[in-house]
Every structure is written in C-alpha cells, then in structure tokens.
Homo-oligomer: A and B are copies of this chain.
Amino acid sequence: MTPPAPDGLDGTVLVVGTGLIGTSVALALRRAGVDVLLSDVDDVTLRVAHEAGAGRPLQTADRPAVVIVAVPPRHASQVLAAASRDFPEATLTDVTSVKQGVLAEAVSLGADPTRLVGGHPMAGREVSGTAGARADLLDDRLWVVTPLPSSGIEHVRAVHRLATACGAYPVEMGAADHDTAVALVSHTPQILSSVLAAQLIDADPDHVRIAGQGLRDMTRIAASNVPMWSDILTANPGPVADVLDGVVGELQRTVLALREMAETVGTGDGTAVVT
C-alpha cells in the first residue's frame, strides 16, 4: 500500500482528549508550527484547550495525517478503533501508560494493525486536567514508541517525528518490555508512595509534623490522579504484582530482623529502651 502519511508531521495532527497530556502535546506541536486539531467528549474542556492556543476544534471535513489518542486508559482502545474507521489513512497512536492491553484490544475492536503504533510519553504532573497542561511538559523527556509487529514503518516513523516535534526523545521498545519496565520504574514507586502516604492518615499529627524532605519526596507522587492510577494498575496487574512480590519479600525479611533486634534490648549495645 501507499504510505498514507510519509512525512508524518508535515500533515495535520488530531489530538483526541484534551486533558493534561493531550493538551500539553497539542501545545508542544503548536509551538513547533504543526497544524493541530482537537476533540474531546467534554465541550468545556475542548474550549479551554482551544482558548489556550492548543489548536482548533475538529470539523467533519478534516483529514488528519496522525491521530493521537490521549483519553483515559479505559477508553483508549475504543477511541483508537473509532479513529481507525473515521480516518482510514491516518497514523494512529496513543499516550496510555500501559501498552500491551490497549493495543491488543484496539486491534480486536477493529483498529488497523498496520497503522497503529503505541506511544507513552514519560511525563506527567501531580495535577491533572487541561489547566495543568504546559507546552514544555515533554521537553527532554523520553517518549517510548511501541510498534506492533504489523505496524508499517512509515507509521512508526511518523510517531518518532511526533515525539521529536514535542521536544521529547523517542525510544523504541516492545509493548511487553515496556509494560515490564514501567511496572518497575513507575507503577511500583507509585504504589509504595501511596501506601506510605496511607500510613500517615491515622498517625498523630505531632508525629507527622516533624517530617523532613525525605518523606515529602517519598509521598509526592501519591498526590497524583487516583482514578487514572487505578486504571493504569488495572491494565498492568501481572508485571506490577511480580515487582511487588520482590518488595514484600524484602520488607518481610527486614521486619523479622528488626523484631529479633527488638528482643535484644538492654544488652549495652545501644538498643536499651527507657521503660
């Protein structure tokens, strides 16, 4: 077949979903001089993004060369499949944080597997929504590109160019590899941060107020969008459970060692306890 968008970003880009990441991508593309179309199920959100200079609302006659789906993870595969039908020549990509499930399901729902290329810009903020979007959010960040074995090279290239136009560095990786990697470097830290933050909820406020920068760093990401994170973990349960098993084992060994130490009080080695 003829490559439908050989020049990638020489064409128009449609951003579906004008939340934090979608609007940031759109602003970054506008900054790079790209013609950007916007769509969102929420008219108010769409208007805010439009008025922020992120692009113009999609019209029926528009034919984008690239469609970026930046909707919540649970809707991404359906929206990719719909975009595949609506724009039968466009490169299709997304920004979902977990790749295997969304891509397989998009294909099963009818997305063209030759035009579909997964993507995951490694950027975010503790705030969410259009108002948190920034044109520089993706600057110097990695953007993982996960082609399917069926993805046409011209579509893979278009997604690389998209990432570069946003100021990010594209890194290619298989979808399964990506999901294993993010379980370790993103999802597990997120869970540990949230579990640690949960320990503070019922704690004595006088105890919590002496906390320093260490605790602040360790609980910062716990403030992230909870429904979004719930979606992300639901989509990557196996790899995350595998990493957490390692963490739990290590912590259980630590507790055992501490309990043994606690029994050797008053031995003159510095573990005496005031009674």
Which A residues are within 8 Å of any B CB, using their own CB?
73-74, 76-77, 100-105, 108, 122-124, 141-142, 144, 171, 173, 175-178, 180-182, 184-186, 188-193, 195-196, 198-200, 203-204, 206-212, 214-215, 217-218, 220-221, 231, 233-235, 237-238, 240-241, 243-248, 250-252, 254-255, 258-262, 265, 268-275
Inter-chain CA distance A14–B175, complex, in Å, is 61
Contact A255 B274 (CB under 8 A): no
Q: Known contacts being A271-B237, A273-B104, is A212 close to B123, with CB within 8 Å?
A: yes
Q: Which residue of B lies closest to A143 (CB)?
A: B210
Q: Which residue of B lies closest to A120 (CB)?
A: B210
Q: Which residue of B lies closest to A193 (CB)?
A: B218
Contact B210 A271 (CB under 8 A): no
Contact B248 A252 (CB under 8 A): yes
Inter-chain CA distance A188–B141, complex, in Å, is 30
A-B pairs, 9 with minimum CB distance: A181-B207, A237-B261, A185-B211, A237-B258, A241-B258, A237-B262, A238-B262, A217-B217, A104-B274
Interface of A is mostly: helix
Q: Known contacts being A195-B254, A262-B237, is A184 close to B200, with CB within 8 Å?
A: yes
Contact A271 B234 (CB under 8 A): yes
What are 10 residue pairs bridging A and B, where the CB atoms are less than 8 Å apart in the complex? A181-B204, A188-B199, A191-B254, A193-B214, A198-B250, A218-B218, A231-B270, A237-B259, A237-B262, A241-B262
Contact A181 B198 (CB under 8 A): no
Contact B218 A203 (CB under 8 A): no
Inter-chain CA distance A107–B144, complex, in Å, is 59
Contact B235 A271 (CB under 8 A): yes
Contact B195 A251 (CB under 8 A): yes
Name the distance in Å between A208's Cβ and chain B's nearest Cβ.
6
